[in-house]
Amino acid sequence: MSWSALFTDRRWRWIAWSAVALLLLALPFIIEALLGRSWVRIIAVALLFVMLALGLNIVVGFAGLLDLGYIAFFAVGAYSYALLASPQFAVHWPFLVLLPLGAAIAAVFGVLLGAPTLRLRGDYLAIVTLGFGEIIRVFLNNLNRPVNITNGPQGITLIDPLQMGGFSLAHTHTFAGLTFAPVHNYYFVFLVCAVLSIVLSLRLENSRIGRAWIAIRDDELAASSMGINTRNLKLLAFAMGATFGGVAGGLFASFQGFISPESFHLIDSIMVLCMVVLGGMGNVAGVVLGAVLLTALPEALRYIGPLQQRWLGGVIVDPADLRMLLFGLALVLMMLLRPEGLWPARRRRVAPVHTGNADVG
Amino acid sequence: MDIFAQQLINGLVLGSIYALVALGYTMVYGILGLINFAHGDITMIGALVALTIVQALAAAGMPAPVVLIIAGGGAMMVCAALGLSIERVAYRPLRRAPRLAPLITAIGVSILLQYSAALIWGKQYIAMPKLLEPAAIDIAGAQLTTLQLAIFLLACAIMAALLWFIKASRMGRAMRATEQNPDVAGLMGVNTNTVIAFTFVLGSAIGAIAGLMIILYYGIGHYFMGFMLGLKAFTAAVLGGIGNVGGAVLGGLLLGVIESLASGYIGDLSGGVLGSNYRDIFAFLVLVLVLVLRPSGLLGQHSGDRA
């Protein structure tokens, strides 16, 4: 019996899934014991990126719309939360209002971006979304004059943590003999959100809407002649993808307590896209794998510095540069070895031979 | 209207440099359908190589024209070799792969080039030694320096030569045939691999000249300078209709002019509310507008389902 059969076989799957769930619950404590608290933070961030990558996967992987400005929705979500829960405007709305609100605002932005770009295909769409992402960032950077809204490049500080009544995630709690530091608390919140995103993505993929998206991706003309309303469904893909980004943005703002336009560069959009493509576009499990891997890889490469010290007796190459160098190299190598992604979607594998022209764009 | 004339001149000069870089994007895109994300960084490498050569030779006391020719030639050779090897290693194995796979390797190569440059040249800004004392010519109340004139004329000459080359030479015809249909071109006896490799070499060499122009114009080089330049140039290529060589020239010039006019006037027009730090937005806003009205760019043909 193969490993994957463990998760599908009726007798074993409950045990297998319970084991995974237990592992995920215990993970921050195991990681803290083995690698230290900074890695707990990294896996929490990895979960945020899982949400982001799953959102982008709806746009790129399911509907086949190449979006190079996805981080803008993350930024919109983060700023919606930060502006309404910080001393910036001296308002402190509860997160139960703000997270849905951020998601809604991001969705509106998604439709705003989608509406004028519906006629564009492939790389034209890519460059317009890229421009959109940059426009949002430049506005965030400059909207401190004449009226100070975003506080410009300094960013917004002292953002409220997630809290309800007297219970704040920013405090350390002790429960059942375990110490829950703020990172642990956030890890569990992010875990719930990431799992929800995964379930939502899987359900979407097999729904009527998901199948319509995949039909549009594989051949838009054929899809529309089968009666699929391509315009509305593409807009829906943008809006849904943006929603994921908006929620993740709000969580990010509350987690960090500080945001600035510097967190929302084009390179971040590209990073999320790399997660989707590298993991296996269109396949939810692959995308999750890609997100975790690409968050952890640059962090793991930080250990290069000390290793250099030990093996070569001195820091010859600036570790930060070397880290990025190896990261670029890893991107190239992984793509050369597995052009379909690390864990490609099954549907693509059984699809009839494609001609190259009608491929996903 | 001396502000207008001045911004127009600045815009045309800047735009001609954008156009040179855009040519590299558009030629590769026309033939492979690939956004060569690393092209801006190849230009950056060209600029920094030229800068290093200029530093070395100017210190040795060589006359400026000789220094510039050697620097340009050196940068072109390095970039051509770089373009050739990138195509061979990172793009050729993926030619039949899903469309986004080569895009990711292109991003990987771009990061690789940036941080290799950071290791070689460091992360600080590098100043260009002052080689020339450009004289200023007065045109309609605006100043045109001889350096600007030289950059503009050289860029135009290169673009004209390239257009002629693609239209009239044997290799140019092979490039056009490969662009239309690589398989059929192969059946007609065109060695498509050679043509594609040649396209990369040509685009990279032109990018190297653009890099030299940029450091002459701004007098400064940096390991990250290829990023925004590449972005603008790609925007220019899309604006003109990507895959169309004439469109890249038009798009580049247009983008340069729009950008400098916008950054010159935006302060006055908005009563000082919006500053010239919004100029990057303008380029993209124009792009979005053009694409919404003409989805395949100014000179592009309808690409049908090519997406």
Select from B99, B281, B297 the Cβ nearest to the Cβ of A135: B281
What is the spatial distance between Cα B306 and Cα B73, in angstroms, rounded to a whole number? 37
Higher local confidence (pLDDT), B134 or A28:
A28
Q: What is the mean pLDDT of residues A253-274?
A: 88
Domain count within chain A: 1
Quick one: pLDDT at residue A316? 66
Q: What is the mean pLDDT of residues A321-349?
A: 78
Quick one: pLDDT at residue B277? 67
Quick one: pLDDT at residue B305? 40
Helix, strand or coil, per DSSP, at residue B265:
helix
Q: What is the CATH number of the domain that holds B245?
A: 1.10.3470
Is residue A80 situated within a structural domain?
Answer: yes
Q: In this structure, what is the dihedral angle of CA atoms A213, A69, B21, B5, given to the nearest 10 degrees? A: 120
Quick one: pLDDT at residue B275? 63
Choose the weakest-confidence range: A185-189, B68-72, B289-293.
Answer: B289-293
Quote the distance between the C-alpha of residue B232 and its chain's center. Answer: 8
- For every residue of A197-244, DSSP letters joined together read HHHHHHHHHTSHHHHHHHHHHH-HHHHHHTT--HHHHHHHHHHHHHHH
What is the spatial distance between Cα B105 and Cα B37, in angstroms, rounded to a whole number? 9
Domain count within chain B: 1
Is residue A116 situated within a structural domain?
Answer: yes
Q: What percent of chain A has pLDDT over 70?
A: 92
B248 has pLDDT over 70: yes
With tokens 């320096």, the residue in question is B145
- Tally helices (H) and strands (E) across chain B: 11, 4
The verdict on B155 touching A (C-beta cutoff 8 Å) is: no
Q: Each residue of A223-243: pLDDT tens digit?
A: 999 999 999 999 999 999 999
- Residue A328: list chain B partners with CB under 8 A: 108-115
Higher local confidence (pLDDT), A163 or A209:
A209
Q: Each residue of A170-213: pLDDT tens digit?
A: 777 777 777 788 888 899 999 999 999 999 999 998 899 999 99
What is the spatial distance between Cα B208 and Cα B225, in angstroms, rounded to a whole number? 13
- Among residues 221-250 of chain B, which lie with CB inside 8 Å of chain A? 231, 234-235, 238, 242
Look up residue A264 and give its DSSP letter: G
Alpha-helical regions (H) of B192-278: 192-218, 225-240, 245-269
CB contact under 8 A, A124 and B242: yes
Residue A324 in contact with residue A85, Cβ under 8 Å?
A: no
Sorting pLDDT into bands at 50, 70 and 90, what band is B306?
very low
Choose the weakest-confidence range: A151-160, A224-233, B104-113.
Answer: A151-160
B121 CA: distance to closest CA in chain A (Å): 12
B152: enclosing H helix or E strand: helix B146-168
B95 CA: distance to closest CA in chain A (Å): 10
Is residue A224 situated within a structural domain?
Answer: yes
CB contact under 8 A, B112 and A332: yes
Q: What percent of chain B has pLDDT over 70?
A: 93
Q: What is the mean pLDDT of residues A138-160?
A: 83
C-alpha distance from residue A355 to each of A63, B29, B97, B179 (Å):
19, 19, 11, 17
At residue B239's C-alpha, the angle toward residues B234 and B241, to 5°, is 95
Sorting pLDDT into bands at 50, 70 and 90, what band is A105?
very high
Mean pLDDT of chain B: 86
Highest mean pLDDT: which range of A121-135, A274-288, B200-214: B200-214
Q: Each residue of B13-52: pLDDT tens digit?
A: 999 999 999 999 999 988 888 888 899 999 999 999 999 9
Quick one: pLDDT at residue A349? 45
B123 has pLDDT over 80: yes
Select from B98, B112, B234 the Cβ nearest to the Cβ of A340: B98
- Residue A273: list chain B partners with CB under 8 A: 104
Select from B94, B109, B116 the Cβ nearest to the Cβ of A339: B94
Is residue A161 situated within a structural domain?
Answer: yes
Higher local confidence (pLDDT), A129 or B209:
B209
The verdict on A188 touching B (C-beta cutoff 8 Å) is: no
State which residues form the domain around A167: 19-274
Q: Is the peptide bond before A146 cis (omega within 30 degrees of 0)?
A: yes
What is the spatial distance between Cα A176 and Cα B166, in angstroms, rounded to a whole number? 75
State which residues form the domain around B106: 2-306
Helix, strand or coil, per DSSP, at residue A296:
helix
Sorting pLDDT into bands at 50, 70 and 90, what band is A144?
confident
A361 has pLDDT over 80: no
Residue A239 in contact with residue A109, Cβ under 8 Å?
A: no
- Residue A317: list chain B partners with CB under 8 A: 119
Is residue A95 situated within a structural domain?
Answer: yes
Is residue A327 situated within a structural domain?
Answer: no
A164 has pLDDT over 70: yes
Q: What is the mean pLDDT of residues A38-65?
A: 92
Q: What is the ipTM of this complex?
A: 0.82
Higher local confidence (pLDDT), A137 or A346:
A137
What is the spatial distance between Cα B307 and Cα B296, in angstroms, rounded to a whole number? 10
Quick one: pLDDT at residue B272? 59
Mean pLDDT of chain A: 84
Quick one: pLDDT at residue B80? 96
Sorting pLDDT into bands at 50, 70 and 90, what band is A95?
confident
Higher local confidence (pLDDT), A331 or A314:
A331
Is residue A350 situated within a structural domain?
Answer: no
The CB density around residue B89, as the number of other CB atoms within 10 Å, is 13
**N residues, chain A:** 361
Helix, strand or coil, per DSSP, at residue B242:
coil
The verdict on A145 touching B (C-beta cutoff 8 Å) is: yes
Q: Go through B277-288 and write b for each residue having 16 or more CB atoms within 10 A of its CB, e for each that does not.
A: ebbbbbbbebbb
B304 has pLDDT over 70: no
CB contact under 8 A, B29 and A360: no
CB contact under 8 A, B288 and A131: yes
Quick one: pLDDT at residue B50? 94
Is residue A358 situated within a structural domain?
Answer: no
Q: What percent of chain A has pLDDT over 90?
A: 32
Choose the weakest-confidence range: A85-94, A115-124, A154-163.
Answer: A115-124
Q: Each residue of A238-257: pLDDT tens digit?
A: 999 999 999 999 999 999 88
- pTM for the complete prediction? 0.82
